[in-house]
Structure 1
Amino acid sequence: MSTAGTTDFGILLNVAFGTFKAQLHARLAQAGFDDLGSSFGYVFRMLQAQPQSLSQVASGLGITSQGALKVINDMVAKGYVERHEEPGDGRVKRLALTPRALAAMAEAQRFHQQFEQDLAAKFGQAPMASMRLILEAMFAGASADGMAQVRPF
């Protein structure tokens, strides 16, 4: 619900996220990662802890195996993911990040930190700490509801 002179909260969140994402992708492009697909960040986070199968990636993304295969094939072609045979079962392929993917993730992490530092410099440490506390509470609620199976960068 909007009142005179104010913008709906959901619109503010959406535009803020869009701004963050656009700046992140611009920074990544400047660093040589100008070929990232919209799902790559989610897959990066999923594979960061350990290699996974295609069906695990599909489940984590909430899409079909065919849809996940399309994303993974694109990531393999661009040098972000590689396939390894499962020991003992050559039919199963484990998907793992390449050094290129790890470099993209490191660049994204630097951007995240700088973005937060810039906000703190602009608005102050206390408001930034409050905003982080609120966002973390929202994230925890989403995680409890099963809404945040993966974390994009």
Structure 2
Amino acid sequence: MDLGVLLGQAYQGFVRELHAHLAAHGHEVLGASYGYVLRTLAENALTASQLGEHLGITAQGAAKVVDEMVRHGYVERHPDPTDKRAKLLHLSDRGRDMLDTVRAFHADYERRLTARAGADQIASVRAVLGEIISTATHSSDTRAFRPL
């Protein structure tokens, strides 16, 4: 099987397990951008425009994701004390719980994989994936990866 296909299928399997884990803990994920938004807003409160810029998407795209996350209780909008026209986006308690649940899943997934494949194998996989990312980041393609 081609390496790209293996990478894609491995990622799809990981995401299916993650979404099942989240559902079992009372969380629903409707968009692929949720994780990026959660991690970004955990660091700083931002406007939708700033969030879009940070994630490399349009302000309208960010607003669409945020609207959905607000409807599901993961993100809250609060007035910006420095700009009365702007709203700052914050993680709600539910959003912080979802992020904690995701982080716990990631750690447990890697522990389980390490138990099956061995620490040396996982270190090698991490090194190879890091090399793939590094090579792609330095290519002529100007699109950046979304920051995590």
TM-score (norm 2): 0.88
Contact 2:36 2:146 in 1 (8 A): no
Identity %: 39
Q: Show the counterpart of 1:33.
A: 27
Tell me, what secondary structure is at the counterpart of 2:100?
A: helix
Conserved 8 A contact 1:58-1:68: yes
Provide the rounded CA distance (Å) in 2 between the counterparts of 1:35 and 1:96. 18
CA distance in 1, matches of 2:106, 2:99: 10
| Partner of residue 44, structure 1 | 38
* Separation of aligned partners in 1, 2:137 and 2:105: 24
Report SS of the residue matched to 1:79.
Answer: coil
- Per-residue CA deviations over 1:63-118 (Å, capped at 9, x if unaligned) read 32222211111111111111111113111111111111111111111111111111
State the superposition RMSD in angstroms: 1.8
SS at match of 2:28: coil
Distance 1:104-1:144 versus aligned 2 partners, 3 A rule: farther
**Residue 149 (1) aligns with residue 146 (2):** yes
Write the distance in 1 (CA, Å) between the matches of 2:146 and 2:29: 24
Instruction: Give the counterpart of 2:16 among 22, 47, 58.
Output: 22
* More displaced stretch, 15-24 vs 33-42: 33-42
Q: Which residue of structure 2 aligns with residue 8 of structure 1?
A: 2
2:65 to 71, 90, 93: 71
Q: Deviation of residue 141 (structure 1)?
A: 4.3
CA–CA distance in 2 between the matches of 1:130 and 1:40? 29
For residues 85 and 142 of structure 1, do their structure 2 counterparts lie closer, same or farther at Cα, with a shift above 3 Å needed?
A: farther
In 2, are the aligned partners of 1:35 and 1:78 still within 8 Å (CA)?
Answer: no
TM-score using structure 1 length = 0.85
CA positional deviation for 1:13: 0.3
Unpaired segments ≥5 residues, structure 2: none
* Aligned counterpart, 1:121: 115
